[in-house]
Amino acid sequence: MCGRYTLFTPPEELETRFDATPTRPLSARYNCAPGQELPVVTNDAPEEFRFLKWGLVPSWADSASVGNNRINARAETVREKRSFADAYEARRCLVPSNGFYEWVDRGGRKQPYRVAFEDDRPFAMAGLWERWTASTKQTGLGDFGSGGPSREQEPLETFTVVTTEPNDLVSELHHRMAVVLAPEDEQTWLHGDPDEAAALLDTYPDDELTAYPVSTRVNSPANDGPDLIERVEA
């Protein structure tokens, strides 16, 4: 799975790399976590970094809380599973990152590892996004007890990260990994037809990737600083 990642590339470099301008200031993030609003590039506004909440909420969901269990979408079933099928067809996105964390069981103790390119360069993980609107009942004196007419709240925009089988490096840490897109495939992921997009859901080779142990401080989303990516003894 992909449950935490980093994005501390300098904003100017990130804007150049993705040819996108942020809708709010970008800041260094060392512990991006589910439930947070994070920058993504969506297929309907590829010139912008928009800030969406991590944890996809399908448009048909009764509650936004379903997003808590939809931080990842399996590549093997993303076209068929109800939660993700519509988004796969029409709402794909790039999730910028420069590394992600995985946890390994070391005799009952979970040891986090960071996986990244050796030069820490930014890359895009394949993502899907959705727009969800809750309907609420407006209660007034004239309609007390009936619930009143429905009114719509501001839409909630969310995303998920697509995962696939791990490469040899990541398989030592976990049985899944994020779909990492080659730079030349990013536009096809955003704008290609479903079959073209499906062809990109392969495992990224581990030739240029590295993995190393980091502090267990990354376990808490409340911690977010450069000390989290420092190598420690496993």
Active site residue 186: no
CA separation for the pair 130, 159 (Å, rounded): 6
Task: Sort residue 55 into left (φ over 0), alpha (ψ -120 to 50) or beta.
Answer: left
Query: Buried b / exposed e across 151-180, counting CB within 10 Å, b at 16+?
Result: eeeeebbbbbbbbbbbbebbeebbebbbbb
| Residue whose entry in the numeric block shows the structure tokens 């909440």 | 53
CA separation for the pair 44, 48 (Å, rounded): 9
Q: Which of 2, 32, 93, 130 is catalytic?
A: 2
Active site residue 2: yes
- The residues near 190 (Cβ < 8 Å, ≥ 6 apart) are 41, 42, 43, 46, 92, 93, 94
How many CA atoms lie less than 13 Å away from 21 in the CB half-sphere?
1
66: exposed, middle or buried (Cβ count in 10 Å: 0-12, 13-18, 19+): middle
Measured in whole angstroms, the distance separating CA 168 from the mean position of its chain's CA atoms is 22
Q: Which of 32, 93, 102, 130 is catalytic?
A: 102
So which residues are the catalytic ones?
Answer: 2, 102
